[in-house]
Amino acid sequence: MTSEAYQMYAQGFKHKEIAEYMSWSSPDNARWKIKQFALAHGLPYPILPDHSLIYNLYLNGMSLRDIGRYVGIKEGGARKNLHTYCRKNGIPPPIDPSLKAKVAYDLRQKGLSYGKIAKMVGYYDRKNCHTAIKRYMEKECLPKPPQQTPS
């Protein structure tokens, strides 16, 4: 019975879901039983996300939100794992947070729309992108980017 719970855990089910399925009293009880089973049988516990998978998915255009859903963690956790992988392997992060606004400003100088820049650089929406570019220009005393011509 505990082996079934471990298999569920390995497939990504949450401890709460396992406890409900197995009719155990609490998620903490499920966590303890799964851990004891894993240790007794030489199985890995906890099963950690594959950082290289997260990095490769992100480089191939998958959003952090979707990567989090795929791996079974939150968006912030996916971002943290991505930066951890980059730091441990001496790879520069795909977009360094300190350079995000500069990259967005440069793209805006080339005439791209705020919506496209937001998707490319990783802002939540075009409004946040616009605000970041505006703050960056004020901070660096830069000229206003050109208006996009309607096509």
Q: Is residue 148 part of a domain?
A: no
* Token pair belonging to 143: 């000229």
The pLDDT tens digits of the residues spanning 4-33 come to 999 888 887 888 999 999 999 999 999 999
Cα 105 to Cα 65: distance, rounded to the nearest angstrom = 24
- Judge if pTM exceeds 0.85: no
Asked whether residue 59 falls in the same domain as residue 81, the answer is yes
Residue environment code for 46-79, b if the CB has 16+ CB neighbours within 10 A, otherwise e: eeebebeebbebbeeebebeebbeebebeeebbb
**With 80 as the cut, is the pLDDT of residue 118 above it?**
yes
Mean pLDDT of the chain: 85
Structural domain range at position 111: 97-140
Q: Is residue 45 part of a domain?
A: no
In a domain, residue 123? The reply is: yes
- Flag whether 121 is in a domain: yes
Q: Into how many domains does the chain fold?
A: 3
pLDDT at 145 over 70: no
